[in-house]
C-alpha cells in the first residue's frame, strides 16, 4: 500500500470523518482510501449518510472532524478559489441528474466550461460537447430541453456533463435510481466504460446491487456511520454478518 | 447549529428593532423637524389663540423657525403658548419682539407670528416670555369690512343718482354745467361791468372838471358857492335834510330793533308764516283772481259771438285755414 | 406564541443575512451579465402585458370613481392633476410591485426552490459557478432594474386609460389631458416614487430568492415556497411604502 501511495497519490483519503446535523451524527469515524483509477462502490441504507459522504468530498458539506484529502488537497482548509480549482478535477453525478431545466442539452454541457476555461485552454467548446455527447451516445439530443428527455437519457446527459471537464475523480450519487433494471445496467456499463476511457477514479453511491457489482472494484458497506465492511464484491458477498447479509437478499 | 440559529434569531430581532426605531424616528422628524436641532423654548401669553394647537408652525418674519409645543390655560383669560424655536434664529429675535396669532391663508392652519423687535434690544434667552399682540379676530375684521362696504355701497348709490340727474338735466349743477344762456349772460354781465367802469371813469373826469370850474367860481356850482342869498336857502334845505335823515335814522333803528326781535324770537316769523287765516286769505285772493280771469274769458267769448265782431273773427279763421291749405 | 415570535425573528434574521450577502457579493466578479440580461428580459417582458393591463384598468377605474365627486365640486378640470398624482406617487408603484410580487416573486421562488430540490444549485456549485452570483444576484438585480421600468410603463398606461375616460366622458383631448398632467407633476412626485420602486424590486427579488434558495422540503416545498414568497414580498412592499412615504415627507414636505 505504501509503495503505491508514493507512486500514485490516492484520489481520496478519508480518516475518522465525523459529520453531524444538529445533534444527530450521520458519519462517525468513517475512513476510506480510494487509489487513483480505482472504482469504489459504496452501499448503505437510506439515510445512512452515503450522499453526505460524497458531498463532503466535493465540499458541498463541511465536515466537523477528521481528515479529508482529495487529489492531494485537504478539503476543509481550502479557500473558495482553491475549492473551485479542485472541483474542476472532480465530476459529480447527482441523483436526480440535476440538469438545468431552463437550458438546452448543449447549454447544460457548456455550463461547467464557463468557469474552468484555464483548464480547457486550447480546446473548442463545441468539440468538447460533441465528444462528451458521443461518449454517452446521445449526439442527436443536443438541442433538446431536459423536459423532453426520458429518465435514462437525463442520466446519460448528466454523465456527459460530468465528464466534459475530464475529471480525475468522478462521484456518482445513485446513478441508477428511478430507472428500470435494464436501463440501470446500461448506465452501470457506461460508467465502467467512461472510467476506462478517462482513467479516472470513481466513487459510486448506490443501493442497487447490480450497479455495485458492475461498477465497483471495491465494495464498501456504510452502516452506523462508519466503514462497516470493505472488500471486493465477492469478498463482501461472502460475509455472513447480518447487516452485510441484508444487502444481498 | 443551535448556536447559529440562536444568533440568527437575535439578528432578526435586532433588524426588526432597528427598522422600527428608524420608522419612528423618521416619523418624528417628519412631524417636527426640530428633533435633532438645538432649540430654545419661549412662551407667550394670549387672551385668545383662535384654535392654535400644539404642532402649529411659528414664523419669524415669514420664515418657519419652530413649532408650538403646548397650549395651556393659565386662567380664564390667559392662555400660555410654549414654542420651540431653532437656536440659530435666537440672535435675531429681540427681547421686545411681539408674538401674534395668525393664520396661514383663509382656510389654512393657525400659526404664531413673531415680529423682530427693535434692533438695539438684546436677543431673547431660553424660557423668555415674549409680548403678545392680540390681533382682531377675523370675524371682527370681516364685520368692520362689512360696514365699510355698506357705506361705500350707499355712497356710490347716491353718487349714481346725482350723476344721473346731471345727465338728465336736473338741478343747479346741471344748469351751471350745461346751460349756454347762462354763459352768455355771464359774458354780458362782465361786458356791462366793464362799460360801467368806463362810464364811472368819464363821470369822474366830469366831476373833476366841475370841481375845477367851481374853484374858479364859474358854472352852477361856482355860482352856488359864491352867491350869498342862495346860501341861506341852501342852509335851510340842509337843515330840512338833517331832520329828515334823523327821522330816517330813527326809522332804521326801530326797523333794526324789530329785526333783532325777530332774530331773537323766530317763533314770531313762524307764526306769521303759519298763520292759517293769512293762508286762507291768500287762497281766497287767488280764487278770486281765477274767477275774474274765467269771467274775462267769458266776456271774450261773448264778444266773439257779438255780431259786430263776428266778421273780424271769421276772417281770421279763414286766413288760418288758407295757410294750412298752402302748407 | 413564543415559538411564533422566534420563528418570525429567525426568518427576519435569515433574510437580513441573505440581504447582507447580496450586498457583499454584488460588487465582486465574476459578473453574470448574460444571465442578468436574460432575467431582465424575462421579468420585464413577461410582466409587461399583465402590468400594462392592470395599470390601464386602474387608470380607468380611478377616473370613473372620482369623476362624480369632482364634478360635484365643479372641479373636473382637476381630474388630470388628481389622477396623475395618485397614480405616479402611489398607485402605479404599489400596484405594479404587488403584481410583480405575485408573478415575479413567486416565479423566482418556485424556480429556485425546484432547482434546490433537484440539486441543480449544488450542481452549479460543483461546476465552479457560484450559484449565489449566478442565480440570486442576477435575479435580484434584474427585479431591481425592471420594477422601476415597469412602474414607469404602468404609470403611462394608467394615465392613458384615465385620459381615455376623460376623452369619452368629458370631451377632453389627449393633448390637453397630458399637458395638464405634466403641468401638475414635478420631479418631487416622480423621483421618490422611482426610488421606492427600486426598493420594491429589491424586496421582491430578495424574498423570492431567499425563499427558493433556502427551500428544503422536497417537491411539495416548491409550492409552499412560491406562496410564502408572494405573501412576504407583498407585505414588505407595503411596509417599504409606508417608510418611503415618511422619508419622502421629510425631504419634500408633501
Tens of pLDDT, residues A102-121: 888 888 888 888 776 666 66
Residue among A27, A39, A94, A101 at smallest CA distance from A66: A27
The three-class DSSP label of residue A200 is coil
- Does residue B1 sit within a domain? yes
In-domain check, residue B129: yes
Q: Are the C-beta atoms of C62 and C86 separated by less than 8 Å?
A: yes
**Would you call C122 and A60 a contact, using CB atoms and an 8 Å cutoff?**
yes
Alpha-carbon distance of B324 to B318, in angstroms, equals 10
- pLDDT-derived band at C201 (thresholds 50, 70, 90) equals very high
Choosing from B94, B116, B135, the residue where a domain stops is B135
Paired residues of B133 in beta bridges: B100
Asked, for residue B81, whether it belongs to a domain, the answer is yes
My answer on whether B20 and B50 are in the same domain is no
C128 CB near a chain A CB, below 8 Å? yes
Chain A environment of C125 (Cβ under 8 Å): 60, 87
- Residue B139 C-alpha, separation from nearest chain C C-alpha, in angstroms: 26
**Cα C218 to chain centroid, rounded:** 28
Are the Cβ atoms of C118 and A60 closer than 8 angstroms? no
- What is the side-by-side order of every strand in the sheet holding A12-21? A24-34, A12-21, A65-70, A73-74
In which element (H, E) is residue C241 found?
helix C219-252
Chains touching C by CB (3 or more pairs below 8 Å): A, B
- Chain C contact present for B21, CB below 8 A: no
Question: For position B225, what pLDDT does the model report?
Answer: 62
Please choose, from the candidates C91, C90, C65, C93, the residue with its C-alpha nearest in 3D space to the C-alpha of residue C79. Answer: C65
SS3 A104: coil
Count of structural domains, chain B: 3
Cα–Cα dist C63/A218, whole Å: 77
Average pLDDT over residues A32-48: 83
The cell numbers describing C2, all together, are 413564543
Please indicate whether residue C249 or residue C236 has the higher confidence score (pLDDT).
C236
Question: Rounded to an integer, what distance in angstroms lies between the CA atom of residue A177 and that of residue A96?
Answer: 8
Q: What is the pLDDT of residue A5?
A: 42
Q: Is residue B243 part of a domain?
A: no
CA B289 – CA B307 distance, rounded (Å): 29
Q: Is there a contact between C224 and C114 (Cβ–Cβ < 8 Å)?
A: no
* Residue C178 pLDDT level (bands cut at 50, 70, 90): confident
Q: What are the cell numbers at B93?
A: 429675535
Owning domain of residue B14: 1-31
Instruction: Name the DSSP letter for residue C30.
Output: P
Please give the Cα distance from A99 to A119 (Å, whole number). 22
**Residue B11 sits in the same domain as residue B44:** no
Rounded to whole angstroms, the Cα distance separating C71 from C97 reads 31
Residue B119 sits in the same domain as residue B66:
yes
Q: Assess if residue B119 is contained within a domain.
A: yes
Chain A's closest residue to B5, CA to CA, is A22
In angstroms, the CA A68 to CA A86 distance is 13
Residues B58 and B87 in one domain: yes
Average pLDDT for B288-312: 73
Task: State yes or no: pLDDT of A193 exceeds 60.
Answer: yes
B125-177 tens-digit pLDDT: 888 888 887 655 556 667 777 888 888 888 888 888 878 877 776 666 666 66
In DSSP terms, A174 is beta-bridged to none
Closest CA to B130 of B100, B87, B102: B100
Distance CA C23, CA C19 (A): 6
Annotate B157-203 with DSSP letters as a single string.
Answer: HHHHHHHHHHHHT-HHHHHHHH-HHHHHHHHHHHHHHHHHHHHHHHH
Chain A residues in contact with C119 by the CB 8 A cut-off are: 94-96, 98
* Choice between A228 and C209, residue whose per-residue pLDDT is larger: C209
User: CB-CB: which of B12, B22, B23 is closest to C16?
Assistant: B12
Q: How far apart are CA A170 and CA A39, in angstroms?
A: 9
CB within 8 Å: A114 and C129: yes
- C203 Cα to chain A: minimum distance (Å): 24
Q: Are residues B50 and B127 in the same domain?
A: yes
pLDDT at A4: 43
CA dihedral C143, C148, C154, C157 (to 10 degrees): -130
* Whether residues B14 and B57 fall in one domain: no
Q: How confident is the model at residue A2 (pLDDT cuts 50, 70, 90)?
A: very low
pLDDT single digits (tens) C152-166 = 999 999 999 999 998
CB contacts < 8 A (B, C)? 50
Residues B16 and B49 in one domain: no
Contacts of B8 in chain C (CB under 8 A): 10, 13-14, 17
Q: Which of B8, B19, B29 sits opposite C13 (nearest CB)?
A: B8
Q: Is A22 on the interface with B (CB under 8 A)?
A: yes
Written as nine digits, the cell of C158 is 394608467
Name the pLDDT band for B187 (thresholds 50, 70, 90): confident
Q: Are residues B24 and B44 in the same domain?
A: no
Whether residues B10 and B54 share a domain: the answer is no
Domains, in order of start, for chain A: 2-247 (3.40.50.300)
pLDDT digits (tens, 9 = 90+) for B123-139: 888 888 888 876 555 56
pLDDT confidence band for A43 (50 / 70 / 90): confident
Residues 6+ apart with CB under 8 A from B96: B117, B118, B121, B131
Cell 445512512 sits on residue: A48
For residue C34, the distance in angstroms to the closest alpha carbon of chain B comes to 34
Identify which of C120, C123, C128 has the shortest CB distance to residue A88. C128
| Per-residue model confidence as pLDDT tens digits over B194-236 | 888 888 888 888 888 877 776 676 666 566 666 666 667 767 7
Q: Could you tell me the pLDDT band of residue A3, with boundaries at 50, 70 and 90?
A: very low
Report, as an integer, the average pLDDT of A32-52: 83
- Please answer whether residues C179 and C77 qualify as being in contact, where contact means their C-beta atoms are separated by less than 8 angstroms: no
Contact B52, B80 (CB under 8 A): no
B8, C10: Cβ pair inside 8 Å?
Answer: yes
Helix C138-170 vs helix C79-86: crossing angle, to nearest 10: 160
Residue B36 has what pLDDT?
Answer: 56
pLDDT of C207 strictly over 90: yes
Q: Is residue B284 a part of any domain in this protein?
A: yes
User: Taking Cα atoms as reference points, which of C106, C104, C111 lies closest to residue C143?
Assistant: C104
Per residue in B75-120, pLDDT (tens digit) is 887 888 888 888 888 888 888 888 888 877 655 678 888 887 788 8
Same domain, B103 and B49: yes
Range with the poorest average pLDDT among B56-65, B220-229, C175-184: B220-229
What's the mean pLDDT in A24-53?
A: 83
pLDDT at A51 over 90: no
Hey, are the CB atoms on A100 and C114 less than 8 Å from each other? no
Mean pLDDT, rounded, for B55-82: 84
Reference A116, options A167, A158, A192; nearest CA is A167
Tell me if B105 sits within 8 A of B99, measured CB to CB: no
- What is the rounded distance in angstroms from the CA atom of residue C105 to the CA atom of residue C24? 22
Q: In this structure, is residue B245 part of a structural domain?
A: no
| DSSP 8-state assignment for residue B77 | T
Q: Which residues of A touch B2 (CB under 8 A)?
A: 22-23
Q: Are residues B95 and B52 in the same domain?
A: yes
Tell me, yes or no, whether B44 lies in a domain.
Answer: yes
Q: Which residue from C195, C156, C213 is spatially nearest to C17, judged by alpha carbons? A: C213
Compute CA distances C138 → A80, B89, C48, whole Å. Answer: 20, 51, 19
Residue ending a domain, choose from B69, B102, B135? B135
Q: Given this model, what pLDDT does residue A1 score?
A: 40
Provide the mean pLDDT of chain A. 81
How far does CA C1 lie from the centroid of its chain? 32
Amino acid at each position: 500500500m505504501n509503495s503505491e501511495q508514493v507512486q500514485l497519490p490516492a484520489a481520496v483519503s478519508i480518516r475518522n470523518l465525523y459529520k453531524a446535523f444538529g445533534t444527530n451524527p450521520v458519519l462517525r469515524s468513517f475512513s476510506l482510501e480510494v487509489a487513483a483509477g480505482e472504482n469504489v462502490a459504496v452501499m448503505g441504507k437510506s439515510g445512512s449518510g452515503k450522499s453526505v459522504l460524497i458531498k463532503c468530498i466535493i465540499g458541498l458539506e463541511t465536515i466537523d472532524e477528521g481528515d479529508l484529502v482529495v487529489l492531494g488537497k485537504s478539503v476543509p482548509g481550502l479557500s473558495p478559489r482553491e475549492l473551485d480549482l479542485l472541483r474542476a478535477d472532480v465530476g459529480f453525478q447527482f441523483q436526480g441528474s440535476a440538469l438545468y431545466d431552463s437550458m438546452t442539452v448543449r447549454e447544460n454541457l457548456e455550463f461547467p466550461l464557463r468557469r474552468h476555461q484555464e483548464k480547457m485552454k486550447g480546446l473548442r467548446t463545441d468539440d468538447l460537447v460533441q465528444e462528451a455527447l458521443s461518449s454517452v451516445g446521445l449526439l442527436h439530443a443536443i438541442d433538446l430541453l431536459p423536459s423532453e428527455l426520458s429518465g435514462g437519457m437525463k442520466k446519460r446527459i448528466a454523465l456527459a456533463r460530468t465528464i466534459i471537464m475530464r475529471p480525475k475523480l468522478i462521484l456518482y450519487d445513485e446513478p441508477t435510481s428511478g430507472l428500470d433494471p435494464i436501463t440501470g445496467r446500461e448506465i452501470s456499463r457506461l460508467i465502467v466504460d467512461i472510467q476506462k476511457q478517462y482513467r479516472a477514479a470513481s466513487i459510486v453511491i448506490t443501493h442497487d446491487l447490480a450497479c455495485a457489482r458492475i461498477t465497483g472494484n471495491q465494495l464498501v458497506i456504510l452502516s452506523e456511520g462508519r466503514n462497516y465492511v470493505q472488500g471486493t464484491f465477492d469478498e463482501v458477498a461472502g460475509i455472513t454478518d447480518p447487516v452485510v447479509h441484508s444487502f444481498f437478499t | 447549529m443551535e448556536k447559529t440559529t440562536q444568533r440568527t434569531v437575535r439578528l432578526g430581532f435586532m433588524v426588526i428593532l432597528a427598522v422600527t426605531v428608524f420608522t419612528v424616528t423618521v416619523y418624528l422628524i417628519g412631524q417636527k423637524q426640530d428633533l435633532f436641532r438645538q432649540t430654545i423654548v419661549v412662551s407667550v401669553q394670549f387672551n385668545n389663540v383662535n384654535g392654535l394647537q400644539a404642532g402649529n408652525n411659528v414664523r419669524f418674519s415669514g420664515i418657519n423657525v419652530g413649532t408650538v409645543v403646548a397650549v395651556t390655560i393659565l386662567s380664564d383669560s390667559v392662555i400660555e403658548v410654549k414654542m420651540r424655536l431653532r437656536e440659530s434664529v435666537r440672535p435675531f429675535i429681540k427681547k421686545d419682539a411681539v408674538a401674534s396669532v395668525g393664520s396661514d391663508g383663509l382656510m389654512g392652519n393657525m400659526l404664531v407670528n413673531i415680529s423682530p423687535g427693535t434692533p438695539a434690544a438684546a436677543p431673547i434667552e431660553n424660557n423668555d416670555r415674549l409680548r403678545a399682540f392680540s390681533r382682531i379676530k377675523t370675524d371682527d375684521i370681516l364685520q368692520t369690512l362689512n360696514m365699510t362696504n355698506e357705506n361705500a355701497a350707499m355712497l356710490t348709490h347716491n353718487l349714481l343718482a346725482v350723476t344721473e340727474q346731471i345727465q338728465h338735466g336736473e338741478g343747479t349743477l346741471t344748469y351751471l354745467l350745461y346751460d349756454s344762456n347762462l354763459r352768455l349772460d355771464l359774458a354780458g354781465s362782465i361786458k356791462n361791468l366793464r362799460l360801467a367802469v368806463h362810464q364811472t371813469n368819464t363821470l369822474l373826469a366830469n366831476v373833476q372838471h366841475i370841481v375845477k370850474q367851481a374853484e374858479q367860481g364859474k358854472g352852477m356850482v361856482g355860482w352856488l358857492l359864491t352867491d350869498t342869498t342862495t346860501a341861506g336857502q341852501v342852509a335851510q334845505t340842509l337843515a330840512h335834510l338833517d331832520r329828515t335823515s334823523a327821522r330816517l335814522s330813527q326809522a332804521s333803528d326801530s326797523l333794526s330793533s324789530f329785526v333783532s326781535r325777530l332774530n331773537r324770537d323766530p317763533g314770531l316769523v313762524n307764526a306769521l308764516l303759519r298763520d292759517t287765516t293769512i293762508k286762507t286769505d291768500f287762497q281766497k285772493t287767488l280764487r278770486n283772481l281765477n274767477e275774474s280771469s274765467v269771467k274775462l274769458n267769458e266776456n271774450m267769448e261773448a264778444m266773439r259771438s257779438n255780431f259786430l265782431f263776428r266778421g273780424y273773427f271769421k276772417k281770421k279763421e279763414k286766413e288760418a285755414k288758407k295757410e294750412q291749405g298752402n302748407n | 406564541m413564543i415559538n411564533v415570535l422566534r420563528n418570525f425573528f429567525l426568518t427576519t434574521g435569515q433574510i437580513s443575512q441573505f440581504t447582507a450577502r447580496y450586498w457583499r457579493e454584488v460588487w465582486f466578479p465574476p459578473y453574470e451579465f448574460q444571465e442578468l440580461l436574460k432575467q431582465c428580459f424575462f421579468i420585464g417582458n413577461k410582466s409587461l402585458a399583465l402590468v400594462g393591463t392592470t395599470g390601464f384598468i386602474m387608470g380607468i377605474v380611478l377616473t370613473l370613481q372620482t369623476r362624480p365627486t369632482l364634478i360635484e365640486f365643479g372641479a373636473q378640470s382637476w381630474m388630470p392633476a388628481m389622477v396623475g398624482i395618485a397614480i405616479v406617487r402611489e398607485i402605479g408603484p404599489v400596484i405594479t410591485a404587488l403584481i410583480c410580487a405575485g408573478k415575479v416573486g413567486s416565479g423566482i421562488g418556485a424556480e429556485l426552490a425546484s432547482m434546490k430540490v433537484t440539486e441543480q444549485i449544488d450542481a452549479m456549485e460543483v461546476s465552479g459557478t457560484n450559484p449565489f452570483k449566478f442565480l440570486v444576484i442576477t435575479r435580484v438585480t434584474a427585479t431591481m432594474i425592471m420594477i422601476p421600468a415597469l412602474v414607469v410603463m404602468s404609470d403611462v398606461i394608467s394615465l392613458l386609460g384615465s385620459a381615455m375616460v376623460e376623452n369619452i366622458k368629458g370631451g377632453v383631448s389627449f393633448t390637453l389631458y397630458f399637458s395638464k398632467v405634466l403641468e401638475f407633476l414635478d420631479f418631487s412626485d416622480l423621483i421618490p416614487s422611482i426610488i421606492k420602486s427600486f426598493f420594491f424590486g429589491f424586496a421582491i427579488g430578495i424574498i423570492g430568492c431567499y425563499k427558493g434558495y433556502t427551500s428544503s422540503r422536497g417537491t411539495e416545498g416548491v409550492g409552499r415556497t412560491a406562496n410564502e414568497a408572494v405573501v412576504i414580498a407583498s407585505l414588505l412592499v407595503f411596509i417599504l411604502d409606508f417608510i418611503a412615504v415618511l422619508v419622502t415627507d421629510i425631504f419634500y414636505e408633501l
